[in-house]
Structure 1
Amino acid sequence: MLLLATKIKKTPIMSLQTGSQIALIGDAIVNPEDLSIIAYETDENQFSNERLLIRVADLRELSRLGFIIDSGEEFVKPEDVIKINDILKLNFKLEGLKVIDQDGNKVGTIIDYTISLANFSVQQLIVKRPLLKSLNVATLTIHRNQITEIDDEKIIIKSELESTPRKRAEQNENFVPNYVNPFR
């Protein structure tokens, strides 16, 4: 199932041990190497005023009540898990990143993204178009297969204009009709 990241934020975290809400889902911690979510920050947790995280491996399921975990013992501090701490130090956030194509044309800015709950990976980027381009289309949805490069300031995607003419030319050269047109 795909969900928007903004819909997941502020989702309750429910404990099986207590049977009640113990925190809310906060910001996602995204690994820029493969665009996977490795953990979520927690908001309004009942255990500490310190910054606590919940690893996606500890999320049992998403129900109508919220995310289900075993107990509050699943929460970790950022420095407790080395990989999470290293990614937090990168300060990588998808929202607000610029998106450009391989030709250097500005496509827009990321305002949201969809997440697959099967493996907690980013599947699509929702991109707000620049003012003049937004007159035709206000937002674009870009699939992860179109991404060619990610850095601290931008995401580079495949150029649409580059791939389309080649495909059309190949289709025209190799076109053999396999049906009879009944409307002649």
Structure 2
Amino acid sequence: MSQTAGVSLALLVPGLLGTQDIGRQFQVLGEGGEGLRPLGQWLNRGQAVDARGYGYEPALLSLFGMGIAHGEELPVAPLTLFADSGEAPAGYWMRADPVHLQADRDRVIMTDIGDSFLAGTPIDGLAAELNAFLEPLGYRLHAPVPQRWYLRAPHPPRLRTSPVSAVLGRDVHDHMPRGEDARQWRALLNEIQMLLHG
């Protein structure tokens, strides 16, 4: 006879049931008919944790035992750079993922750029063009995979940023860089956007 006591499985599935609060998500499961009923029964055996206040990256890091205080900056870029390239280069790294900005009447919404766009884009050429602009300023763009890009800074940036996962589908103005160097970074972002649209 095998014992399974003490065995646990943690699943982190962003957006599995939409963006409603967790109580509404379970109501949706109950109302979902035959297609969702098995998922609801399976999930009812577990313990649901609403991680929306923390975001995808903090929730994922906490599952790996990295105790991150709420609101604390996460070392997402160095960790994912290592996962993407197998390298752990020195320096100060930030994520610089490609995204799509959609202008609305009175706001700008960030949307996923999509794999189909990235498949048809010469990433190395685009990175080289951006590096021609960035390197004289002391920065270097590294794009080891199409969906995740990285920016090496010459010194620790004094700003707080929002992960893409927290901004998708939302107005970017509410999530612009904050902190002592925010003005400089906003100007840099504007220059990069003009370069890309030129």
After TM superposition, the score normalised by the length of structure 2 is 0.24
Structure with higher strand content: 1
Max Rg structure: 1
After TM superposition, the score normalised by the length of structure 1 is 0.25
Structure with higher helix content: 2
